[in-house]
Amino acid sequence: MNYTANESRYAGMPYNRSGKSGLKLPPISLGLWHNFGGVDLFENSRALARHAFDLGITHFDLANNYGPPTGSAEEVFGQILKKDLQPYRDELIIATKAGYRMWDGPYGERGSRKSMLASLDQSLKRLGLDYVDIYYSHRFDAETPLEETMSALDQAVRQGKALYVGVSNYSAEQTEQAAAILKGLGTPFIIHQVHYSMFERRLEQGLQDILLREGVGSIAYSPLARGLLTDRYLKNIPADSRAAGGSVFLRPEDITEEKIAKSRLLDVLAQERGQSLAQMALVWVLRKGHVTSALIGASKLSQLDDNVAALKQPDFTQEELDLIDSILSK
């Protein structure tokens, strides 16, 4: 059966400008880091993408190495586009990145002009697209002049293969330098993808000030601290969790009793607010209006529903914000 998008998909979803650009993103975006690889059930990945769009989530975030195996998330999303979402291409914001290890040899990673442009061509083939909406430098490369990496992003825009560019995992100083270079080139640098959650607050240590000054938006990845800011680990480590499975991104030793104790206290506050811990964590990331969007992952349709429902929750009182800070500082 052919897919037809929900006609009321935009009725309940607000959209935020990314920095001073004209591009608006939903406050909740869907990341394809997990659950969209070649090892995952295609029909579940397909259902997740369609349901996200039906909820008004227009932004889908990828990278060249997402999977596993590497590249397969782009291939899977390319199939979803072909089967379901292609008629809605002009309503979608599709992003991809390059910088981490993708293929063998000296050009399969980092930020050289060769690597960045070759990777983008490969990504477009896997996605079946002529262009992506946002192309990122996934990480700063100390072995490549920053001018070279930024000029590769500039060329991608001038070739019509990307509409906007961004950076990810750059420090405040590196971001400031990148912004100056891209401004000189006239390239639309609109977003920084940064690790940000209640447990990871480096965004607040100078980077946010630079983004505001330069008119660059931000999108927070791992806003739920890879599950630590959900009810998943409040009692123990579930057998089907990433931590139990030996994920390099969340190991059992990362789930410390100190963090769990803080999560339990935060969960009490969330319940008092009529929220789940995950919902409160998402609203917290978006609380000041500086973060353009929170990038979530999902393996179930219900998770998408719950995360989007967080946007309907009340704003924080100053007392609640102070309590959260006191819990996190213990």
Delimit the domains of the chain by residue range.
16-226+277-314
Give residue-wise pLDDT tens across range 278-319: 999 999 999 999 999 999 999 999 999 999 999 998 899 999
Give residue-wise pLDDT tens across range 1-27: 799 999 999 999 999 999 999 999 999
Q: Give the helix/strand (H/E) hosting 135.
A: strand 132-137
The strand ranges marked E within 79-188 are: 93-98, 132-137, 162-168
What does the alpha-carbon distance between residue 225 and residue 234 come to, in Å, rounded to a whole number?
Answer: 13
What SS3 state is found at 270?
Answer: helix
What's residue 242's pLDDT? 52
Chosen CATH of 16-226+277-314 out of 3.20.20.100, 3.40.50.1820, 3.40.50.300, 3.40.1190.20: 3.20.20.100
Q: 171 CB contacts (<8 Å, ≥6 apart)?
A: 140, 207
β-pair partners for 197? 200
CA 290 to chain centre: 15
* pTM reported for the whole predicted model: 0.94
Q: Which residue has the tokens 């447990």?
A: 199
Give residue-wise pLDDT tens across range 221-251: 999 999 999 998 887 655 555 554 545 455 6
What's residue 244's pLDDT? 45
**Of 142-146, 149-153, 253-257, minimum mean pLDDT range:** 253-257
What's residue 253's pLDDT? 62
What does the alpha-carbon distance between residue 44 and residue 126 come to, in Å, rounded to a whole number?
Answer: 19
What is the DSSP-derived secondary structure letter of residue 317? P
What SS3 state is found at 141?
Answer: coil
